[in-house]
Amino acid sequence: MIDVNLLREKPEIFRESQRARGADVTLVDQILEADSSRRSSISEFENLRAEQKAFGKKVAAAKGEEKQTLLAEVKELSQRVDEAKTASEQAQEKQDDLLSRMENLIIEGIPAGGEENFKVLKIVGEPRDFAAEGFEPRDHLEIGELVDGIDMARGAKVSGSRFYFLKGYVARLEQALLTMALDQAIANGFTMMTTPTLVRPETMNGTGFNVKHDDEIYRLERDDLYLVGTSEVALAGYHADEILDLSDGPLKYLGWSSCYRREAGSAGKDTRGIIRVHQFNKAEMFIYATPEEAEGIHEQMLAWEEEMLQKCGLSYRVIDTAAGDLGSSAARKFDCEAWVPTQEDFRELTSTSNCTTFQARRLNIRERTADTVDDNGKMRKGATRMVATLNGTLATTRWLVAILETHQNPDGTVNIPEALQPYMGGLKVIPLAKK
């Protein structure tokens, strides 16, 4: 949720943000109008309440007919107070509804437009030249079948389309990748968290996902619970309605979970193999920080993601995502896209988002600022304010696509990146399946 006080002070920056996103600009003025109505209603209610209290004292002191007359007036005033209270509550509800529709204020300087309007910040590494090596690369599914590591047919038999089994060395490779991500995160001060994969609607909504209109989200109607598409959701809800102590620095969590997405709108070549599937595993960074630290931490999270990609020996590019492709909670998002040889294109493997104070406002997560001493030497207790939240992926099942295709050999075997070999028991090459 955005800061309504800031919107009141600087409405034009929110209008520009909405324009950059391709979102409804008139929402800004609707919120301003609702805010004015809310404040007016509250003022009227408070004035009537004060009048009611004062009137009560007059009634207590009155006698006889005068008291009866005043009691009749008190009844009328009480009705007006109730009406004013109802009006103020309705005005608050209207404003809250409008604020819940407003997407986060973007960070100045990011690209405007939609999915195709991203800005390439860097390209790292050279895609492998298979033609120079004299063979045509196989796609990840063909490789996975040759090494008996991916079984889509039985996944579909058991659960339906876009489900799969990972087997043998490919299953181990996924676990190796996630464990390497965990070790890297712990070395950088993160606490490992295994998180719930079912959450309440208020947690999903609080994180910024619209449970009523998002076709990607699985819902268990009988229990009114939602399957998460990322452990970001559970980790954002972890400190809901709490006041955090950030005096020793940011709180850093590494969420480890299975994730679920309908992938309702995807089609074509992405439906082959494990590029777009309904269930996958992920190691997700989540950080609570002060608003002043957020942009610097965002850059650091990107660096940690790049470190993982480099350990895996992948060529990739980093993009600054356009405003219209951010999602409602992000103020800025960097994507890392690895080169997938058989698609001859960069495909997203990881992203990191700075959500500023947007999620914290929806979930009521605050920090207490440091105590201060005033000019008279009196200690003043620190105030509370909203924290910033950031998230970023360190590893996920989709990485197997780029790893298998990038490091394949002409016979279908796969060289394991050196950094991952210790996590594979020292294995250097994934062999072909025994016939």
pLDDT tens digit sequence for 15-65:
999 999 999 999 999 999 999 988 888 888 888 878 777 766 666 666 666
User: What does the pLDDT average to over 309-336?
Assistant: 97
Bigger pLDDT: 66 or 166?
166
Bigger pLDDT: 300 or 57?
300
Question: For 4-101, which CATH class?
Answer: mainly alpha
Is residue 67 scored above 70 in pLDDT? no
pLDDT of 65: 65
Tell me how far apart the alpha carbons of residues 321 and 284 are, in angstroms, rounded to a whole number.
19
Domain boundaries, the chain: 4-101, 115-430
Tell me how far apart the alpha carbons of residues 193 and 186 are, in angstroms, rounded to a whole number.
11
**Which amino acid, 291?**
P
Tokens of 317: 């590019």
**CB half-sphere exposure, 88, CA atoms < 13 A:** 17
pLDDT of 341: 97
pLDDT band at 215 (very low <50, low <70, confident <90, very high): confident
Annotated catalytic residues are 261, 276, 348, 351, 398
Q: The whole model's pTM is what?
A: 0.90
> Is 202 in a helix, a strand, or coil?
helix
Is residue 268 scored above 60 in pLDDT? no
pLDDT of 264: 64
User: What does the pLDDT average to over 154-180?
Assistant: 97
Most confident of 52-56, 168-172, 218-222: 168-172
Is residue 216 scored above 80 in pLDDT? yes
What percent of the chain lies above the pLDDT cut of 90?
A: 77
pLDDT of 369: 84
Sign of the Cα pseudo-torsion (405, 410, 412, 415, in order)? negative
Compute φ and ψ for 169, nearest 5 degrees: -70, -30
Which residue from 359, 368, 366 is spatially nearest to 386, judged by alpha carbons? 366
pLDDT of 210: 79
Cβ atoms 130, 341 nearer than 8 A? yes
User: What does the pLDDT average to over 361-376?
Assistant: 84
Is residue 68 scored above 70 in pLDDT? no
Bigger pLDDT: 184 or 55?
184
The CATH superfamily assigned to 115-430 is Bira Bifunctional Protein; Domain 2 (3.30.930.10)
Mean pLDDT of the chain: 92
Same CATH fold assignment for domains 4-101 and 115-430: no
pLDDT band at 373 (very low <50, low <70, confident <90, very high): low
Tell me which DSSP letter residue 50 carries: H
Reported as a single tens digit per residue, the pLDDT across 189-200 is 999 999 999 999
Tokens of 325: 């492709």
pLDDT band at 372 (very low <50, low <70, confident <90, very high): low
Tell me how far apart the alpha carbons of residues 277 and 197 are, in angstroms, rounded to a whole number.
16
pLDDT of 145: 97
Reported as a single tens digit per residue, the pLDDT across 398-422 is 999 999 999 999 999 999 999 999 9
Angle at 323 (CA atoms; ends 320, 325), nearest 5 degrees: 85
Compute φ and ψ for 350, nearest 5 degrees: -155, 155
Q: How far is CA 139 from the centre of its chain?
A: 31
User: What does the pLDDT average to over 355-370?
Assistant: 94
What percent of the chain lies above the pLDDT cut of 70?
A: 92
H or E segment at 285? strand 279-289
H or E segment at 346? strand 345-354
